[in-house]
Structure 1
Amino acid sequence: MEEFNLQFSTAEQCLKVIADEKWQEGFECRKCGRTNYCQGKTPYSRRCTTCKTDESATAHTIFHRCRIPITDAFEIAYLVCGSPKMSSYELSRRLETRQMTCWKFKKRIMECIEHGAGLHLFDIPQKSQV
């Protein structure tokens, strides 16, 4: 857990990992399909140079519209993937976050795992919002 906390202690570190994983095969604009981009308005976002659409690193990922700090979301994902039977109450105690918040995000992660996304956790339909 110490190694995890060192590696993902800031939001920037988490966003970098998400962006690297999301665009490992290159950027393609979801609006126009073009592949040319520049830096977006927020850290690790990309802006299509053709249609000017911004896409954040978290858009269309398990972390999309996540209302808890990204570092907490990463920690929940790490703990749930490591021990799927961990209760939302235990997650709540460890992260000092509301139990329902932990339950909703854990549910989102478990849906990704059930759909075969594994640890990538990307492009899974999002039924619940955290």
Structure 2
Amino acid sequence: MAQQEVMTLKRFQEKFHSDDACREHLFQMRWANGYSCPKCGHSTFYFLESRKLYQCMRCEHQASATAGTIMHKSHTPLLTWFWAIFLVAHDKRGVSAVFLARELEISYPTAWLMLHKIRKAMSDRDAHYQLAGLVELDDAFFGAPTEGGKRGRGTDQTPVLVGVSLNKQGAPQYVKMQVIPDVKGKTLVEFAKLHIEPGSTISSDAYRSYNALAEEFDHQPIKFNVKDNPDHLKWLHTMISNAKAFIGGTFHGLDSKHLQSYLNEFCFRTNRRQFGGQMFNRLLTACISTDTITYGDLTAKV
């Protein structure tokens, strides 16, 4: 994506002072080269002020600036949506539904749903990218263990597979995290095929399940030993530690049912950590590029 406008708090307040200003910004983002009817492609339209719709002068199809976005059919004002996206984009620690509800003076259920819609946009945006080159891969476990229960790979915590791609200097570039049902070879291969480019080299520990990766990738297992290999999977373990701090620090008592969406948020933020003040427009672009999700969809998930 090209460079985006840096959006400071002052600039945001000056630019987005009403729903109409937000709608005009969405129009410019969606039809940067001029309006094109989604149905027939005609470029001439007139605006239906009472319904906030753009009607094609050829086929009379009516289009909304929010159609096909996470904001579609939302009763929440556009300005509130823009404030929510701004607050989420500009706090690297993430924001909770309690915080959003208080700051935007909306109900907790509304804030909770808005945040999940934003996280869906983050997930859908990152789905376009794969890890490549040298990729560190390992499993981790999230959540509090049952008192007296096992730890490590025998725990009853939620297993998560983590992949981190490194650049030529050995520094981390991108990260992917996925909740998995188990740490079997088949599960690891499915993750790798989905999230790692063919031809990449995968570095892991010597746990037997990872041997299955050798059938599809250049796999380099190394038996972990703090004394002999102190830097093995160093960046991956750093990412895991950061993800746990991110989730534990902001989202207390997180339900494992929605763990994946919080991991998606962490990955989206981490993968764009170098963009700083550009995050608002980058996140807004993600939000207008993905379909919405309903409260029923979220509560129905298992």
Same fold, judged at TM 0.5 (above): yes
1:123 lines up with 2:289 in the alignment: yes
Residue 128 to residue 25, structure 1, CA distance change in 2 (3 Å): farther
Partner Cα separation in structure 1 for residue 43 and residue 54 of structure 2? 10
Partner Cα separation in structure 2 for residue 54 and residue 42 of structure 1? 12
Question: Greater strand share, 1 or 2?
Answer: 2
Aligned counterpart for 2:107 among listed residues 98, 101, 109: 98
Partner Cα separation in structure 2 for residue 50 and residue 80 of structure 1? 40
Runs of 4+ in 1 over 6 A off after TM superposition: none
Partner Cα separation in structure 1 for residue 29 and residue 90 of structure 2? 20
Check whether the contact 1:37–1:46 (CA below 8 A) recurs between aligned residues. no
Q: Larger Cα Rg: Structure 1 or Structure 2?
A: 2
Between the two structures, name the one with larger relative contact order (CA 8 Å, sep ≥ 6): 2
* AA partner of residue 124 (structure 1): T
- What residue number does 2:28 align with? 20
How far the C-alpha of 1:26 sits from its partner, in A, is 3.7
1:110 lines up with 2:119 in the alignment: yes
Q: Secondary structure at the match of 1:40?
A: strand
How far the C-alpha of 1:20 sits from its partner, in A, is 0.3
Task: Structure 2: state its 5+ residue gaps.
Answer: 1-8, 127-281, 296-302
Partner Cα separation in structure 2 for residue 104 and residue 98 of structure 1? 10
Partner Cα separation in structure 2 for residue 92 and residue 20 of structure 1? 29
Partner Cα separation in structure 2 for residue 42 and residue 53 of structure 1? 15
Partner Cα separation in structure 2 for residue 36 and residue 80 of structure 1? 35
1:16-95 equivalent positions in 2, closer than 5 A: 16-31=24-39, 33-42=40-49, 45-83=53-91, 85-95=94-104
Check whether the contact 2:85–2:118 (CA below 8 A) recurs between aligned residues. yes
How far the C-alpha of 1:42 sits from its partner, in A, is 2.8
Q: Deviations over 1:89-108 (max 9, x none)?
A: 00111111101101101111
Check whether the contact 1:72–1:95 (CA below 8 A) recurs between aligned residues. yes
How far the C-alpha of 1:66 sits from its partner, in A, is 1.6
Partner Cα separation in structure 2 for residue 39 and residue 74 of structure 1? 25
Q: TM-score, normalised by structure 1?
A: 0.85
Q: Deviations over 1:15-69 (max 9, x none)?
A: 11000001114433333x3223212213874222221011122222222112111
Q: TM-score, normalised by structure 2?
A: 0.39
Q: Deviations over 1:70-113 (max 9, x none)?
A: 11111001111222621010011111110110110111111101
Q: How many residues align?
A: 128
Check whether the contact 2:18–2:79 (CA below 8 A) recurs between aligned residues. yes
Partner Cα separation in structure 1 for residue 98 and residue 25 of structure 2? 27
Residue 96 to residue 104, structure 1, CA distance change in 2 (3 Å): same
Check whether the contact 1:40–1:55 (CA below 8 A) recurs between aligned residues. no
Partner Cα separation in structure 2 for residue 54 and residue 125 of structure 1? 18
